[in-house]
């Protein structure tokens, strides 16, 4: 297994505004994407990879943005999602801060006088992202995707594809995902947003003009995220009560770093606030909160998915308390009720929600087998 090597991100411009679920529209916009592998003659081997909160179009290989893609362990020659057989598309969603049009880009509204969108970037939903992705798939000349795959929020996009473009997706692979967020999930998102919005350097979302960044808020948001991505178990084994200075030196009897977990969280928070956009954080967490396709079916998931034509693979991880196995099982139950095709794997992994990014052999084994089966359809 090797890497896809050096890749170059591409940009595609869309002059036609995108109507959004809110009733607003996103004006002319750019989407950033990468592709790996070769589209076959009948264009039947395309797989779309949807990203979660803190990721982008840069799924595999090394690009000008720097280090290897966020799912490089999954996507490449000979890897479970094998780029020698599949044409893989990584796409960055609008509202992101990694290339596609987002809050830090110029607002085309003449009233904005060329200033960045900032807080005026429209609130965008999972369904809106899927619509934006579908337009890019159109322009690539692909009528039907072999599969859409994503983890966490990316899995929600994969699910939404099968509801919104039922005849354009043969397989939906949702990893560590859920049919909607629980109250507890929304609560953590809300705390993170409040930390950002109440940071004096946020300036109502128009901080770009002030030459500052709401670092404090972003740092707190990321620290909260990290605690919820990890399991209690993995935190216990990785950090436990280990002191940064070693047990002999004991406590500082102050509020600086004593425990390694404190050091880890501060480092992760600081690093994040160096590169992540605060408005993007708000937009993406709100998209998470709002996703709830069953809402207009009175919460009935079976009814929600009744018209879907895709085959599904769902994967969850035992220690994931953010998107727990119980949430995946709700989806499985609905699909089984409808006598739809669904495979489900519950992986006994200690890493919590983060497990979907790691290369646990059982997890990757399940994905490899599933993609092998998909490849037989066009072999």
Does 363 interact with a second copy (rule: CB under 8 A)?
A: no
Does 247 interact with a second copy (rule: CB under 8 A)?
A: yes
Q: Is 364 a catalytic residue?
A: no
Does 244 interact with a second copy (rule: CB under 8 A)?
A: no
User: Which C-beta is closer to a second copy: that of 12 or that of 235?
Assistant: 235
Does 261 interact with a second copy (rule: CB under 8 A)?
A: yes
Does 302 interact with a second copy (rule: CB under 8 A)?
A: no
Q: Is 44 a catalytic residue?
A: no
Total binding residues for a second copy by CB under 8 A? 57
Does 120 interact with a second copy (rule: CB under 8 A)?
A: no
User: Which C-beta is closer to a second copy: that of 24 or that of 134?
Assistant: 24
Q: Is 252 a catalytic residue?
A: no
User: Which C-beta is closer to a second copy: that of 37 or that of 352?
Assistant: 352
User: Which C-beta is closer to a second copy: that of 289 or that of 359?
Assistant: 289
Residues 130-169 that bind a second copy (CB under 8 A): none
Does 289 interact with a second copy (rule: CB under 8 A)?
A: yes
- Window of 43-51, 139-147, 290-298, 363-371 that interacts with a second copy by CB under 8 A: 290-298
One residue of 39, 104, 123, 140 binding a second copy per CB under 8 A: 123
Least distance to a second copy, CB of residue 20, Å: 8
Least distance to a second copy, CB of residue 31, Å: 21
Catalytic residue, chosen from 72, 258, 320, 354, is: 320
SS (H, E, C) the chain: CCCCCECCCEEEEECCCEECCCCCEECCEEEEEEEECCCCCCCCCEEEEECCCCCCCCCCCEECCEEECCCCCCEECCCCEECCCCEEEEECCCCCCCCCCCCCCECCCHHHCCCECHHHCCCCCHHHHHHHHHHHHHHCCCCCEEEEEEECHHHHHHHHHHHHCHHHEEEEEEECCCCCCCHHHHHHHHHHHHHHHCCHHHHHHCHHHHCCCCHHHHHHHHHHHHHHHCCHHHHHHHCCCCECCCHHHCCCCCCCCCEHHHHHHHHHHHHHHHHCCHHHHHHHHHHHHHCCHHHHHCCCHHHHHCCCCCEEEEEEECCCCCCCHHHHHHHHHHHHHCCCCEEEEEECCCCHHHHHHCCCHHHHHHHHHHHHHHHHCCC
- Residues of this chain that interact with a second copy (CB under 8 A) are 21-24, 122-123, 180-184, 186-188, 190-191, 193-195, 197-200, 216, 219-220, 223-224, 226-227, 230, 232, 235-236, 238-241, 247, 251, 253-255, 258-259, 261-262, 265-266, 269, 282, 286, 289-290, 292, 295, 321
Q: Which residues are catalytic?
A: 152, 320, 353
């Amino acid at each position: 297994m090797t890497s896809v090597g050096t890749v170059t991100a591409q940009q595609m411009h869309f002059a036609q505004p995108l109507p959004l679920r809110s009733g607003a529209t996103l004006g002319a916009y750019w989407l950033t994407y990468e592709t790996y592998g070769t589209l076959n003659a009948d264009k039947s081997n395309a797989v779309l990879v949807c990203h979660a909160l803190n990721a982008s179009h840069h799924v595999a290989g090394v690009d000008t943005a720097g280090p290897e893609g966020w799912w490089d362990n999954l996507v490449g020659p000979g890897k479970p999602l094998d780029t020698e057989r599949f044409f893989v598309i990584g796409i960055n969603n609008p509202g992101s801060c990694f290339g596609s049009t987002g809050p830090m880009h110029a607002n085309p509204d003449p009233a904005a006088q060329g200033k960045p969108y900032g807080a005026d970037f429209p609130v965008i939903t999972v369904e809106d992202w899927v619509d934006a992705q579908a337009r890019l798939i159109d322009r690539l000349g692909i009528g039907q995707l072999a599969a859409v795959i994503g983890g966490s929020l990316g899995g929600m996009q994969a699910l939404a594809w099968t509801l919104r473009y039922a005849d354009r997706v043969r397989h939906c692979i949702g990893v560590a995902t859920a049919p909607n967020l629980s109250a507890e999930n929304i609560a953590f998102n809300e705390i993170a947003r409040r930390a950002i919005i109440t940071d004096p350097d946020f300036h109502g979302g128009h901080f770009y003009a002030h030459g500052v960044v709401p670092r404090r808020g972003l740092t707190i948001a990321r620290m909260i995220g990290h605690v919820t991505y990890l399991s209690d178990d993995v935190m216990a084994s990785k950090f436990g009560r280990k002191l940064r200075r070693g047990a002999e030196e004991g406590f500082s009897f102050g509020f600086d770093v004593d425990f390694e977990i404190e050091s880890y969280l501060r480092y992760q928070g600081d690093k994040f606030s160096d590169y992540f956009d605060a408005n993007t954080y708000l937009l993406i967490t709100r998209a998470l909160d709002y996703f709830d396709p069953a809402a207009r079916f009175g919460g009935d998931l079976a009814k929600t998915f009744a018209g879907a034509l895709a085959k599904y693979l769902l994967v969850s991880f035992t220690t994931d308390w953010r998107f727990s196995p119980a949430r995946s099982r709700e989806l499985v139950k609905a699909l089984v009720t409808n006598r739809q095709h669904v495979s489900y794997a519950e992986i006994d992994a200690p890493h919590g929600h983060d497990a979907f990014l790691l290369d646990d052999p059982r997890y990757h084994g399940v994905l490899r087998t599933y993609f092998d089966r998909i490849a037989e359809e066009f072999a």
